[in-house]
């Protein structure tokens, strides 16, 4: 019978990983090969299993106590003396030895503490491994045993909703059905952990992958030109910060290979509603000041007046025509401090989401305007935590269909 790895070894492996060790280093510390370490890491989906939570003292013996039992046997101690040393009942030690020794543990009659009549064959490692295997209580994963719930989760993953969004939105959409509940951790484990694959593995490509290792950077000595007549973000009205009033936008460009192609992004701060600006062609001219101004004026002109208040951008030279944009759109335009992307955090977060559709280092000129509209719809129909799991499209629709009353304004009737 082949037993699984000891849990105490796996716990130590994940402690080392959490401390910043590489897989190969953590494996070497435990006397394992790099291949074995990578197998453990891959089988757990890159996260320590919940079954490896640090144990409290229980009725079950641990590896340290089993090693003390071995020391007691080697020293010829009685079962009671061994039990007293590990603060366990003598019956616990007796059962341990009976289960894991081929010979009954006895000493020479009339010779307390003397050598045993037959050689001992107790192994703490073998006993611990067997105990871990017998303690396992495998059960069917929740998503594997609930067809309706699994189908719903798979459909939403196909729409690029995150596991956290799916988990929260199920409670909203099925408030009276407790069977339609699943945690985001369960969804992740069903996708990644070997042996719990209740969900189709190909759905992992629908998840947000995070940042790429390579990021575009300016070459040495290259500096951005200063924009004439710009108004710093420090002069922006402070009430914009709390997202209580609609019509305040943040914007930026996401760029492709060698910064030769780009797509403009605009995000409304209150609802998170996103607009994408098509900037066709390649080379610096395709996302220069004139191209950006034309695309932005076209997009903003389609918005209702209640959504035209301010725009916050970084100090990129693509906004050199900001005065013309402000005049055509009736927006007040503010510029962030240099190297301060957090000053337009809503837009930065959205740009990260967009990289799922427009990976870094690719040619963004290949995407047609209708595809940009498709991606914007995808993003605007994702439930958001800060909107109480409503979508930006739902939040905007509610905003435009109901009279808006600014906070602090008394209503009369």
Q: What is the domain-level CATH number for residue 363?
A: 3.30.420.10
* Residues 376, 316 share a domain: yes
311: which strand partners? 249, 333
Q: Is 410 contained in some domain? A: no
Q: At what angle are helices 163-173 and 184-192 packed, to 10 degrees?
A: 130
* Residues 379, 278 share a domain: yes
332: which strand partners? 310
Q: Is 2 contained in some domain? A: no
- Give the lowest-confidence range in 5-14, 100-109, 253-262, 317-326: 100-109
d(CA 185, CA 344) in angstroms, rounded, equals 30
Tokens representing residue 190 in the block = 């069903």
Q: Is 353 contained in some domain? A: yes
d(CA 41, CA 340) in angstroms, rounded, equals 36
Instruction: Summarize the confidence of residues 66-75 as an average pLDDT.
Output: 85
* Residues 241, 370 share a domain: yes
* Residues 393, 280 share a domain: yes
Which pLDDT tens digit goes with each residue over 73-119? 888 888 888 888 888 888 888 888 888 876 655 555 555 555 454 55
Higher pLDDT, 382 or 46: 382
| CA-based nearest residue to 100, from 80, 127, 76, 82 | 127
Greatest C-alpha distance within the chain: 107
d(CA 318, CA 285) in angstroms, rounded, equals 10
- What are the residues whose beta carbons fall under 8 Å from the beta carbon of 265, sequence distance 6 or more? 251, 252, 253, 254, 274, 275, 276, 277, 347, 350, 351, 354
Handedness of CA 392, 397, 398, 400 (dihedral sign): positive
For residue 193, the model assigns a pLDDT of: 59
* Residues 241, 357 share a domain: yes
Q: What is the percentage of the chain residues whose pLDDT exceeds 70?
A: 76
- What are the residues whose beta carbons fall under 8 Å from the beta carbon of 85, sequence distance 6 or more? 68, 72, 77
* Residues 153, 114 share a domain: no
Q: Is 380 contained in some domain? A: yes
Which pLDDT tens digit goes with each residue over 135-144? 665 666 777 7
Handedness of CA 304, 306, 308, 314 (dihedral sign): negative
248-255 and 332-335 strand pairing: unpaired
* Residues 181, 252 share a domain: no
* Residues 378, 316 share a domain: yes
| CA-based nearest residue to 188, from 199, 178, 177, 179 | 199
Please give the full DSSP string across 35-56, using - where no structure is assigned: HHHHHHHHHTTTS--GGGSPPP
d(CA 44, CA 21) in angstroms, rounded, equals 17
For residue 130, the model assigns a pLDDT of: 81
d(CA 350, CA 338) in angstroms, rounded, equals 20
Higher pLDDT, 357 or 286: 357
The structure's pTM equals 0.52
Q: What is the extent of the structural domain holding 177?
A: 147-204
When mean pLDDT is compared over 71-80, 128-137, 232-241, 269-278, the highest value belongs to 269-278
Q: First-to-last CA distance in the chain?
A: 80
* Residues 273, 195 share a domain: no
* Residues 314, 190 share a domain: no
Q: What are phi and psi of 266, to 5 degrees?
A: -130, 130
* Residues 153, 123 share a domain: no
Q: Is 282 contained in some domain? A: yes
Which pLDDT tens digit goes with each residue over 271-320? 999 999 998 866 555 678 889 999 999 999 999 988 999 999 998 888 98
Using the structure block, give the residue that is written with the tokens 């229980």: 58
Q: Is 316 contained in some domain? A: yes
* Residues 327, 277 share a domain: yes
Q: Is 189 contained in some domain? A: yes
For residue 129, the model assigns a pLDDT of: 79
**180 within 8 A of 148, measured Cβ to Cβ:** yes
| CA-based nearest residue to 379, from 396, 363, 365, 364 | 396
CA atoms within 13 A on the CB side of 32: 20
Spell out where 190-309 has E strands: 248-255, 262-268, 274-279
d(CA 116, CA 69) in angstroms, rounded, equals 15
Total number of domains in the chain: 4
For residue 108, the model assigns a pLDDT of: 53
**265 within 8 A of 272, measured Cβ to Cβ:** no
d(CA 179, CA 175) in angstroms, rounded, equals 10
Tokens representing residue 206 in the block = 């629908």
262-268 and 248-255 strand pairing: antiparallel
Q: Is 313 contained in some domain? A: yes
């Amino acid at each position: 019978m082949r037993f699984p790895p000891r849990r105490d070894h796996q716990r130590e492996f994940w402690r080392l990983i959490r401390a910043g060790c590489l897989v190969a280093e953590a494996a070497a510390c435990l006397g394992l090969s790099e291949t074995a370490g990578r197998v453990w890491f891959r089988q757990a989906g890159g996260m320590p299993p919940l079954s490896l939570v640090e144990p409290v003292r229980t009725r079950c013996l641990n590896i340290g106590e089993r090693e003390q039992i071995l020391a007691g046997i080697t020293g010829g101690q009685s079962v009671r003396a061994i039990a007293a040393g590990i603060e366990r009942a003598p019956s616990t030690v007796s059962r341990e030895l009976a289960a894991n020794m081929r010979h009954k543990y006895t000493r020479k009659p009339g010779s307390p503490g003397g050598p045993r009549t037959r050689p001992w064959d107790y192994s703490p490692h073998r006993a611990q491994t067997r105990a871990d295997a017998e303690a396992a209580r495998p059960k069917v994963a929740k998503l594997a045993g609930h067809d309706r719930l699994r189908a719903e989760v798979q459909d939403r993953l196909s729409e690029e909703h995150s596991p956290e969004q799916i988990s929260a939105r199920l409670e909203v959409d099925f408030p009276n059905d407790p069977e339609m509940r699943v945690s985001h951790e369960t969804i992740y484990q069903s996708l990644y952990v070997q042996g719990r694959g209740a969900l189709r593995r190909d759905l992992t490509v629908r998840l947000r992958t995070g940042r790429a290792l390579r990021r575009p950077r300016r070459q040495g000595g290259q500096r951005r030109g200063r924009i004439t007549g710009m108004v710093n973000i420090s002069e922006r009205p402070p009430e914009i910060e709390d997202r209580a009033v609609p019509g305040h936008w943040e914007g930026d460009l996401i760029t492709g290979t060698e910064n030769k192609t780009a797509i403009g992004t605009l995000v409304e701060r209150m609802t998170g509603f996103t607009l994408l600006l098509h900037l066709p062609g390649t080379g610096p001219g395709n996302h220069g000041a004139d191209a950006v101004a034309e695309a932005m004026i076209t997009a903003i002109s389609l918005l209702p007046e209640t959504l035209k208040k301010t725009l916050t951008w970084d100090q990129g030279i693509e906004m050199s025509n900001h005065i013309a944009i402000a005049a055509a759109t009736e927006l007040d335009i503010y510029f962030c401090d240099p190297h301060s992307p957090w000053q337009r955090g809503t837009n930065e977060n959205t740009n990260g989401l967009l990289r799922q559709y427009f990976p870094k280092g690719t040619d963004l000129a290949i995407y047609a305007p209708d595809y940009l509209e498709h991606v914007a719809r995808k993003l605007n129909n994702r439930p958001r935590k800060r909107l109480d799991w409503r979508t930006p499209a739902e939040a905007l629709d509610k905003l435009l269909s109901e009279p808006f009353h600014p906070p602090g304004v008394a209503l009369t009737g």
